[in-house]
């Protein structure tokens, strides 16, 4: 299927998920986002998982596929870099619904605060500033539990992942340039050390304040 000029696969059954798993075996990076509903529910429900990898873009329907283990395996694989924007809610929901926390994550919103953006910078603003691409966000209020999906929903969902990898490239270049120009800072070292900054099941970040906790790490990174 194709939307916003980008080909993607809408995965709604176990067969499609098996193809996804086979195609993405051994990948080095993965962008992801989720769409969910929390209104009139005791627990918020993940209704769609958007994924971008070197192999393509995927929209995975966890309401139709009860066992999404291939996705979980990638999320917890420390060898696979996960790229997100403002991932706190995603971490929390994956922990509540599937009992896991994504590992080896790079949050573009958090990283942007190290290169001069006021935190928290919105995704659209960051994409427009870094990539000179205008992102339409005109479908922010919708019922993600309702099926079948509408084309506008899929277009909106794709926008959340198609630019993440290029954002990672751009921001990493800025960070490396800053590192080479100014050397390590206390903040950069704190973000590298998983004991100094890590997502909790509630999505909060724990920040160590001791110089010993901040001493680890030798590169700029915004990974958990």
Give the C-alpha separation, 166 to 172, whole Å.
10
Give me Rg for the CA atoms of the chain.
Answer: 18
Q: What is the per-residue DSSP string for 2-51?
A: EETTEEEEEE-SHHHHHHHHHHTTT-SEEEEEEEEE-TT-SS-EEEEEEE
Q: Domain 2-133+142-215, what fold?
A: Nucleotidyltransferase; domain 5 (3.30.420)
Collapsing DSSP to helix, strand or coil, 1 comes out as coil
Spell out the domain ranges in the chain: 2-133+142-215
For residue 190, the model assigns a pLDDT of 35
The CB-based long-range contact list for 2-6 (8 Å cut-off, 24+ gap) reads 3/151, 3/154, 3/155, 3/158, 4/155, 4/158, 4/159, 4/162, 6/57, 6/158, 6/162
- Reading the block at residue 104, the tokens are 């080896």
- pTM as predicted: 0.81
Copy the structure tokens of residue 100: 């896991």
Residues in Cβ contact with 131 at an 8 Å cutoff, skipping those fewer than 6 apart = 163, 166, 167, 170
3-state secondary structure of 83: strand
Distance separating the N- and C-terminal Cα atoms of the chain? 33
Say whether 97 sits in a helix, a strand or coil.
helix
Give the separation between CA 129 and CA 114, rounded to whole angstroms.
15
pLDDT of residue 159: 93
Q: What is the chain's pLDDT, residue by residue, as a tens digit (224 residues)?
A: 644 578 999 999 999 999 999 999 999 999 999 999 987 777 899 999 999 999 999 999 999 999 999 999 999 999 999 999 999 999 999 999 999 999 999 999 999 999 999 999 999 999 999 999 998 765 566 899 999 999 999 999 999 999 999 999 999 999 999 887 665 544 433 333 434 334 444 334 334 333 322 322 334 446 55
- Listed in order, strand segments (DSSP E) in 93-196 are 105-107
Edge to edge, the sheet with strand 2-3 lists 2-3, 6-11, 56-60, 45-53, 29-37, 81-84, 105-107
If residue 179 lies in a helix (H) or strand (E), which one and from where to where?
helix 164-182
**CA 217 vs CA 76, 180, 212: distances in Å:** 21, 15, 11
Residue entry with tokens 């590192």: 179
The helix/strand/coil state of 198 is strand
């Amino acid at each position: 299927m194709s939307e916003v000029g980008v080909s993607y696969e809408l995965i709604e059954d176990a067969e499609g998920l098996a193809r996804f798993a086979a195609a993405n075996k051994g990948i080095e990076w993965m962008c992801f986002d989720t769409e969910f509903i929390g209104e009139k529910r005791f627990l918020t429900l993940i209704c769609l998982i958007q994924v971008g990898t070197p192999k393509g873009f995927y929209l995975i329907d966890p309401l139709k596929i009860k066992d999404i283990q291939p996705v979980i395996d990638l999320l917890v694989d420390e060898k696979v870099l996960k790229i997100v924007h403002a991932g706190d809610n995603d971490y929390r929901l994956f922990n509540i619904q599937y009992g896991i926390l994504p590992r080896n994550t790079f949050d573009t919103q958090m990283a942007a605060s190290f290169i001069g953006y006021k935190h928290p910078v919105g995704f659209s603003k960051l994409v427009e500033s870094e990539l000179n691409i205008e992102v339409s966000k005109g479908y922010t209020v919708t019922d993600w539990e309702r099926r079948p999906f509408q084309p506008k929903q899929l277009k909106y969902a794709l926008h959340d992942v198609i630019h993440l990898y290029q954002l990672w490239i751009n921001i990493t270049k800025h960070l490396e340039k800053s590192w080479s120009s100014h050397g390590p800072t206390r903040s950069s070292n704190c973000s590298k050390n998983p004991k100094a900054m890590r997502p909790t099941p509630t999505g909060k970040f724990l920040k160590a304040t001791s110089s010993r906790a901040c001493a680890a790490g030798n590169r700029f990174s915004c990974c958990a």
